[in-house]
Amino acid sequence: MKRGILFVISAPSGTGKTTLLRRVMGRLEGLNFSVSHTTRAPRPGEQDGRDYHFIPREEFEVMIEGNRFVEWARVHDNLYGTATAGVVGQLAQGEDVILDIDVQGAAIIRESSELEGVHIFIAPPRLAILKERLKGRNTDSDETIELRLKNAVTEMASAPTYDYLIVNDDLDEAAEMLASIIIAERARCHRRPNGEPLQFEKA
């Protein structure tokens, strides 16, 4: 059985990454979303176990001490982490995994000897548009929005370290690009667009 492909995807908050991923995952078969752990509170519409595993800071710190994360990072005063067991297990079973993490976590995975991934960065067309999107969510204070915009500048400076860059200016176009990248990477690994291994008849 061939090892699955790990797709590491990062984007500044408010770029539309979640909407983009849901559209592509609804179109392509065989993609598994790795649900990260976080200490932040759920936003309206988010569900525990689907969007994130929402856990207390004390529990997160216990997991850190037990070396149970592939990577973890502090973002906007909250902790986020990817549990080792889930990702490694799925890849070993030949399943393709989508890992939605920030640039700090992506850098850790890039340097990891245990995991090899295809790194994709999703960028907003302009900071002004990103600010409009963040305000339109009506979930953050003005101070939080300004912090996210400041962090976005730093995050976008990391874009050249990724294998692919997609600008989410038009959702349909961005979704097409992301789906094409996934299909191309599957073809490179001798897999069909749905992720199944290619098999040829022997003469």
Strands 37-38 and 6-10: unpaired
Residue 23: the pLDDT is 95
Per-residue model confidence (pLDDT) at position 1: 60
Cβ–Cβ under 8 Å, residues 120 and 97: no
Q: Is residue 196 part of a domain?
A: no
Which residue numbers in the chain have pLDDT < 70? 1, 138, 203
Identify whether 197 is part of a domain. no
Find residue 164's DSSP bridge partners: 120
Would you state the pLDDT for residue 135? 73
pTM of the model: 0.84
CATH of the domain at 179: 3.40.50.300
Residue 48 domain-assigned (yes or no): yes
Residue 202 belongs to some domain of the structure: no
* Residue 16 covered by a domain: yes
Domain membership of residue 164 (yes or no) is: yes
**Count of structural domains within the chain:** 1
Q: Does residue 201 lie in a domain region?
A: no
pLDDT of residue 203: 63
- Length of the chain equals 203
Range of the domain at 72: 6-188
Specify the pLDDT at position 91: 92
What tens digit of pLDDT does each residue of 173-195 get?
Answer: 999 999 999 999 999 998 999 99
Q: Is residue 170 part of a domain?
A: yes
How confident is the model at residue 57, as a pLDDT? 96
Which of 152-174 are b and which e, b meaning 16 or more Cβ less than 10 Å from the residue's Cβ?
beebbebbeebebebbbeeeeeb
